Structures are given as structure tokens and as C-alpha cells.
Amino acid sequence: MNNEAMFLLIHGARIIDPSQGIDQVGDLLIVEGKIAQVGRAILSGQLSEWTKKKMETLDATGLIVCPGFIDIHCHLREPGFENKETIATGTKAAAIGGFVAVCCMPNTDPPLDNAAVVDWVKRKASKDGVVAVFPIGCITKNRKGEELTDFAELTEAGVVGFSDDGAPVMNSQLMRRALEHSRTLGLPIIDHCEDKALSAGGIINEGRMSDKLRLKGIPAAAEEVMVARDLILAKLTRAKLHIAHVSTKGSMELIRRAKEETIPVTSEVTPHHLTLTETQITSGPPHKSLNPNAKVNPPLRTVEDVNALIEGLKEGVIDAIATDHAPHTSADKNCGLEAAAFGISGFETALGCLLSLVHQGKLSLVQLISKLTHEPAKIIARNNELGTLKIGVPANITLLDPDLEWVVNSHNFVSKGKNTPYEGYRFRGKIMATIANSKLVHIDDSLVIKQSNAAI
């Protein structure tokens, strides 16, 4: 199809747009790459002859059409770790996962701590990326936690927030200053909350499983202590704080109380922290008892934590779902559990595992879509262009089949990272097409787009 000036009628879908409260069966019309009409059936007689000559149609009966997914926390690894992922492979994997925009973390080499590196990433993404890439800048120079970066310079370069992801700012005075600087610029501080003294040497969640396996654990307190500190500092500074990958019931309750006090905080949770528990670490292949692909930081927690996080999503305590896509090489993971890198390759399995919550009645489809679209768009202040099907905005759209079953096979991943704990899982629900910035960047082989000159 012609991606330069998209003229497309998506016909007969269930259209869900939480940003506008839309949930109905109907049609969606794209004219010259922009959303022109949403909702009721669109008849051929309503279109101009010029439009009809260019129009293509897609029969989306039985499918869901919604705003394109937005991932506010991922690792594209470039520059510096191209053996793990590149902007090209990462954004292609994101498109397969239904994402039209991703926010990349700054733990690259060199890190995104100055305008020159941010500019390089943006140019590379413009050349190689198939979905929008929004860089996140470092809080401190070289992510060392010693000296703040130039927030104004990074903002001018186009970052959407600041984070030392994976290297939390341990110095409370420095974090206070970071929040104060970010407040003047209107961008969030995105914090990986971990007290490194409490988590040092930890491999999995501290508790019955770590005791049983005689492995050093990472206690829930390592996360919760830092969540509490940062919430106190956000209250003091009135700056925007975003808590990354919340994993414990205690953290969720701290955020709940902070929101009740109108502290300016948002938070995210990952698909794996919503669908897996600490027991996953024992699901390795037959010749191995432990599964390094289930090693992630923060670690997979308990059933009680998982249930609390789901409730937090439903209640609006947790604002968004983000993959924390962390691709690694086979060598990074297949080296024994203790030496294995933390992280899960998450773009291509996100929808499948999340829809299990919908099919089990734990979350509604509208709630799920909101946490992947409208709400993350608000966090990065892109809700006027992303996360919505409003008339006149460029087409950023995800089409999904909520019932189509498929089996996870990491050998088929487009991402270089094959490190998934969902290997062999049978999921119900699949991305069928992704339109990013008015371009068709992914379509399932079963879908057919037709030229339409006949009556609709």
C-alpha cells in the first residue's frame, strides 16, 4: 500500500479509544495519513471521488482497533551494545508488538548524558527506526550518581524525561536537586527504585523461594525504601516523579498514599510483573533446573504482589504498563543463573501475556488499552498526538485479534534478544497490524488490504 499518503478505510472493527470514551463497532477512515472519521459506518457515497480513487480498505470484522501502543520504558541498546539490539531491530520488534512509539533508556555506551549523543540517537532513529523513538536523558553524568547533567541542554535536545535507570541516584541531596531542576523544565524524573546496599549480590526475590534454592535474595524493602524516599522528595519539591517497574505490594501502597496527598507521582508496571511470580525461576529447560530468562531486576515477586499490582492498575494507582524490554545475547543469559544478566526481551510478547489478564476477568480490555495508550502518552506529554484516535491527528493505530491463539517461539523474534521466560507459552490474542505515523509498519500475513473503488 502507499505509505506516503495513506488513504485507508478500516471496516467493521470494535473501536476502543479510552481518551475519548469510545467503545463501539464501526469504521475508521484515514485520509492523507490523518484520522478523518471514527465510529459509525462510513458509506462510499460519503467519500469524494478523489478519495475513493485512492482509498484502500481493510475488513477488520472481529478485530479491535485502538490507538497505537506507547512503551515508556525500553532498552534499544544503541549506541554501544549493538550485539544485543539496535534501533532498527528494536523498533521492528516494537511494531510487531503493536507499539507506535517507544522511550529508550539512557544506559548506552556512551550514555545519553549530553546533547550530542541524544542527537545521534534521534538521527539514527529517523534513519533506521520504524516507530517513533523518544530518548530519555541521564540524571547524572555517565550515570555515576555524582554530578547532574545539563538538564536544559538535554531538554533542548528533545529528551522526554531523566533517568539513571539501573543505577539509582543514592545521594538524596542530589536527587532533590534533580527534581528541582526537572520541575522548572516540566519533565519527569524516572527512577529505578533500588537501595543497592540492600540488594547487593541478590539474584531473585528474597523469600521462601530464595531460601529453598539457597540463593541470595533481593528484598522488597530494597525497592520500597527508595520509593518512600523519592515520594518524600517529590512532595518537598512538587516535581514530577515517575516510578519505574513497580514490583511490590508495599511500593504500590506507598504510591497510593502519595496520590491521596496529591504528590505529583505516576508509575508503571511491566507485563512480566503482572503475569509471572518468583516460582518462574525454576522453570528452566529439562537439562537445567533454573531459568536465567526469568532473572530480572526488580525480580519477579510473590502471588500477593502480583494481585496487588493488578488491583493497583484497576484502581488507577498505577498509571501505565511498560515492557522494560531488555534484550541480551545468548551468552549473556546461558552462563549460569548467578552470572546471567538481568532482563527480559518484552516487545513481542507484551500483548499476549497481558490479554491473559483480560481473559481471566482480572482486567477489562478497555482498562488494558488505556494503560498502553492514553495514560502513557500523558506521562510523556504526547497526548495531543499519541494515545488517541481524535480527528485530525496522524494515524497511530494498533489492530489486534483478542482471541487468535499462537505459541511463543523466540527463534521467530525480530528482536536480537531471544531471552524470554514465555518460551513455549500458548497465548490468546495477537497484534494483527500496526500503523505508526501514518505508515503501515507491520501487518499479519492473514490480513488483506484491498483497493476500493466499489461501494462499501
Active site residues: 324
Q: At what angle do helices 365-372 and 303-315 cross, to 10 degrees?
A: 80
Other C-beta atoms within 10 Å of 121: how many?
24
Chain position carrying cell 538538564: 151
Of 366, 356, 359, 373, give the one whose Cα is nearest residue 320.
373
Q: Which of helix, strand or coil describes residue 455? A: coil
Tell me the C-alpha distance between 46 and 152, whole Å.
49
Q: State which amino acid sits at residue 114.
A: N
Other C-beta atoms within 10 Å of 34: how many?
16
Of 161, 72, 79, give the one whose Cα is nearest residue 117.
79
Tell me the C-alpha distance between 47 and 41, whole Å.
12
CA dihedral sign, ordered 435, 440, 445, 449? positive
Helix (H) or strand (E) holding 103: strand 99-104
Tell me the C-alpha distance between 240 and 263, whole Å.
9
Q: 271 with 326: CB under 8 angstroms?
A: no
Q: 291 with 421: CB under 8 angstroms?
A: yes
DSSP calls for 228-239: HHHHHHHHHH--
CA dihedral sign, ordered 347, 86, 102, 74? positive
Kindly tell me the burial class for residue 174, based on how many C-beta atoms sit within 10 Å of its own C-beta (0-12, 13-18, 19 or more). Answer: middle
CA–centroid distance for 114 within its chain = 24
